[in-house]
Structure 1
Amino acid sequence: MSGETMPKRRVAIVLFNLGGPDRPESVRPFLVNLFTDPAILRVPGFIRPWLGRLIAWRRTKPAMENYAILGGRSPLLDLTEEQGRSLEAAMAGDPGIEVRSFIAMRYWHPMSDEAARAVKDWAPDEVLLFPLYPQFSTTTTGSSIAAWQDSCRKAGLSVPTTTLCCWHSHGGFAMATAQLVRRAWQEARAALPEDVPLRVLFSAHGLPESIVNAGDPYQWQVEQTVASVVEKLDMPGLDHIVCYQSRVTPQKWIGPSTEDEIERAAHDKAAILICPIAFVSEHSETLVELDVEYREEADKLGIPGYFRVPAQNSDPDFIAALADLARAALGSGRSLCSFAGARQCPKQHGDCPHARATAERRQVAVKEPA
């Protein structure tokens, strides 16, 4: 009838993130959850529970020391909640929809079981799964999707769902990141003598080479992110490199490592500006590993200047990019989409979720009777 207001479509945006301990006593169980995840510790299932707990036990003391620097807890939940509220505000004026954000942390509360129950209680018309990992990896977004699907089955939550798998080269994200890099570069350059070169280290969390060789697209996507950010920077001749931090197992990891690049900069007598390129919130790997541990190493090596680009957190341009991503995903008509709609990864990356979805559809088609 004319004059009646159409009800708004209720959209639950579920933000995936890693999670972090909320008090010192949470450090050990957080690590157990992390290292017993089959996406992380890729060993036979009968070995994983005890091996994961052994690794967690060995890493508890250094992890507690790191979190003590942060006041005994991770800031990640607070920052993710703020991002969720900011995203809601950015989409509040969108016609025809009512958006509410929910947080599903992977290894500490609120985890996907809690989030699925909360989403069911809110009774949305549609769900958007939105990883706060710009680049897809089976160890991050892939693991979170699997946990979410399991939680939905347990909660009895069945709602039309769109999954945004990656947004590594989204223009708004790249521009927002480039603006942060440019400001930090200008501040660093102003603090250095003119004859001291300044090198940008785009540092991402590393992965074992075996995972990448098996088809994980993460490294390729990280490199695409850096290429997009550098293009937006438009600084000809910018000295920069992609490197990887946070190695935690003895096997060979993708490189070059951030530590090796700090050593190379020391040899070249170059100052460094480190940009966390796979993290969009401050947490232990930026606030401790980059700001404390690597800074101390740089000082020991005589680096002429050590600077760091802040994470995006709730930077307004970054939040605007998240809102654009959410709108595009919701309007894509796809149950699985990248930032550009269709699959973006080259064919050799068989662990791309689009490739997996295609393989699963083919298996179903083969099994179905003619």
Structure 2
Amino acid sequence: MARGVPMQRVAVVLFNLGGPDAPDSVRPFLENLFTDPAILRVPGFIRPWLGRFIARRRTPAASENYAILGGRSPLLDLTEAQAHDLQAALNEAGGAEYRCFIAMRYWHPMSDATARAVREWGPDRVLLLPLYPQYSTTTTGSSVTAWDEAAARAGLAVPTKTLCCYHSDPAFAAATAAAVQTAYEAARAALAPEVKLRILFSAHGLPESIVKRGDPYQWQVEQTVAAVVERLAIEGLDHIVCYQSRVTPQKWIGPSTELELERAAHDKTAVLICPIAFVSEHSETLVELDVEYREEAERLGVPGYYRVPAQNSDPGFIAALRDLVRRAEADDRPLCSFAGARQCPKPFGDCPHARARIRAPELA
């Protein structure tokens, strides 16, 4: 860079779900979640009432879960650590000045406050980076919509790129496989030689109706698992993709993690749970997987229950994010996948690339 020419400033905005930071924020957090049109897909005039009703009904159980975690979610602290490490890795590589910001979807810091902070920093461009490896309209899609609205309100008008997904990114898959390998070897060493071991790649579920309307999430989860299993290269590996965290009475994608625990008990097979769609520990890993499903496995007589930790600030994962950011920066597209162009097959009409083509054919 020529002397006297300032480095370009790049704001990297990390999207995540968010979580309550105190016992009295559990209910408003749930209200934000269940009044999101991307989550509760009912007519708009019903949604505020129904969303608050669902939140009120679910608050006692959710509060008990967060009480196990000390009354608050650890997600913000872990995301801040990821942002700190990613910022350091990006700036070490040089070429621009990077600053990482966090925009949570359902609790603070939310998009409005983050957009104002980004505007005050004065970046030359913005990159939106979801901490959801697999795209869904209910996660990344909802976060992008919230960000676009918040940026407009904040008067933040600089070139912005969105990385939609990195489900099969080789570095991400390799970092995930390394964690699975370590946990698999530890579980295998703890078990008697005659006891079989099965990996349950558990992802957050979705109502089947959302997937049938074209959401690519389930397909992308399956692509992640295929990429990880390929890198594990364990001959005859017993594994399956399953889904957890059902919260509504409608039909959800499956098989469910609960049913897979029942099958493991029937088969007298130990299980190693891998949270394949979560990259940070939070209530659905630390409580649902580590407490509730463990107790269920013990009740059913599963001969062993083990878990792969979430990535958090694993150096391999942070390096994968760094490389994803740098490649997205080099891509001419305002919307890109980990491989640049669209990755989802054509039937998935809710792939963001398909939506971008409908809105602006020249950008697709």
When the two structures are superposed, what TM-score results if normalisation uses the length of structure 2? 0.98
Unaligned runs of 5+ in 2: none
Q: CA RMSD in A?
A: 1.2
**1:89-124 deviations in Å (ceiling 9; x for gaps):** 111222320000000000000000010000000000
Letter in 2 for 1:248: V
Distance across 2 between alignment mates of 1:92 and 1:5: 19
* Superposition deviation, residue 7 in structure 1: 1.4
Question: In the alignment, what sits opposite 1:91?
Answer: 90
Distance across 2 between alignment mates of 1:92 and 1:213: 42
Unaligned runs of 5+ in 1: 365-370
- Secondary structure at 1:84's aligned position in 2? helix
Question: In the alignment, what sits opposite 2:246?
Answer: 247
- Secondary structure at 1:113's aligned position in 2? helix
Letter in 2 for 1:4: R
**1:204-257 deviations in Å (ceiling 9; x for gaps):** 000000000000000000000000000111112100000000000000000000
Question: In the alignment, what sits opposite 1:280?
Answer: 279
Question: In the alignment, what sits opposite 2:308?
Answer: 309
Report runs of 4+ in structure 1 exceeding 3 Å deviation: none
* Superposition deviation, residue 360 in structure 1: 1.0
Distance across 2 between alignment mates of 1:250 and 1:126: 43
Letter in 2 for 1:279: F
When the two structures are superposed, what TM-score results if normalisation uses the length of structure 1? 0.97
- Secondary structure at 1:89's aligned position in 2? helix
Distance across 1 between alignment mates of 2:99 and 2:110: 17
Letter in 2 for 1:155: A
Question: In the alignment, what sits opposite 2:329?
Answer: 330
- Secondary structure at 1:140's aligned position in 2? helix
Question: In the alignment, what sits opposite 1:358?
Answer: 357
| Structure 1 residues 117-156: aligned runs within 5 Å | 117-156=116-155
| Structure 1 residues 56-205: aligned runs within 5 Å | 56-205=55-204
Question: In the alignment, what sits opposite 1:368?
Answer: none
* Superposition deviation, residue 363 in structure 1: 11
* Superposition deviation, residue 6 in structure 1: 3.0
Question: In the alignment, what sits opposite 1:17?
Answer: 16
8 A Cα contact 1:7 1:96, kept in partner: no
- Could you tell me the percent identity over the aligned residues? 73
- Secondary structure at 1:118's aligned position in 2? helix
8 A Cα contact 1:265 1:272, kept in partner: yes
8 A Cα contact 1:243 1:258, kept in partner: yes
Distance across 1 between alignment mates of 2:118 and 2:200: 39
Letter in 2 for 1:94: A
8 A Cα contact 1:83 1:313, kept in partner: yes
* Superposition deviation, residue 27 in structure 1: 0.1
Identify if the C-alpha distance between structure 1 residues 322 and 3 changes in structure 2 by more than 3 Å, giving closer, same or farther. closer
